[in-house]
Amino acid sequence: MASAQLLDITREIKLDHDNVRELFDRYKTATDPKTKKAVANTLIREMAVHSDAEEVTVYNDYAAVGLGDVATHNKEDHAEVKKLVYAADSHGFGKPDYDDVLAKAVTAFDTHAREEETDQLPTLRQKLSPEDNDRIVRAFLKARAAVPSRPHPWAPQTGGIAQKAVGAQGKLHDKVVETLTDRDFVDVKYTHPEV
């Protein structure tokens, strides 16, 4: 495999973080309620997908590079973020305090994201061979397509087979809910490569 074809997990993780930040900026400046709701739906989806995809792929490799305790900490952070994202998802867009509920979820996500970007991703980049980095990023990107698109904070957060099995059921359930509730979404600004 040519080095130009190798992908970088730290870049793809940060890309997700940047999409959440950009979506929240877009949410705060949107004036049309339909657009604002579609941006909120997309924010919820992006935070849920990112968290689960990291848990079932990236964090499983942390122990091999000496970051096992960090993976445990991250999963705890994700559990809290998922509860807040779930609260935003189930709160009801039209309620007067919805902006505050969504802001709490985004703030928790961004706090965790900044910790990853400052402390963990540089360490991960140094400790992974280019081939392992590429292997992990490809698994992460494939997982993004397989994990649930809405938060499920009471599902297993282990990153193992139980989370993957429940996630497959959750993904189907989420598709039904999104279809029945006629949810609209917006495009994200930054896109991942095809794998």
What's residue 183's pLDDT? 80
What is the number of residues in the chain? 195
Give CA–CA dist 85/104, Å, rounded.
8
Give CA–CA dist 69/72, Å, rounded.
5
CATH number, position 10: 1.20.120
Residue 88 lies in a domain: yes
Residue 133 lies in a domain: yes
Q: Which domain holds residue 21?
A: 3-180
Spell 63-94 as b/e; 16+ CB within 10 A means b. Answer: eeeebeebbebbbebbeebbebbbebbeeeee
Dig out the tokens for 67 from the structure.
């970051």
The answer to whether the beta carbons of residues 30 and 160 sit under 8 Å apart is: no
Give CA–CA dist 173/89, Å, rounded.
14
The answer to whether the beta carbons of residues 144 and 51 sit under 8 Å apart is: no
Residue 185 lies in a domain: no
What's residue 161's pLDDT? 54
Give CA–CA dist 179/157, Å, rounded.
26
What's residue 94's pLDDT? 86
> From residue 161, how far is each of 52, 56, 60, 154, 167 by CA, in Å?
12, 8, 11, 16, 9
Which residue stretches of the chain have pLDDT < 70?
1-4, 152-182
What's residue 154's pLDDT? 54
Residue 189 lies in a domain: no
Residue 186 lies in a domain: no
Residue 26 lies in a domain: yes
Neighbours of 60 (CB within 10 A): 16
Number of domains comprising the chain: 1
Residue 41 lies in a domain: yes
What's residue 2's pLDDT? 45
Residue 33 lies in a domain: yes
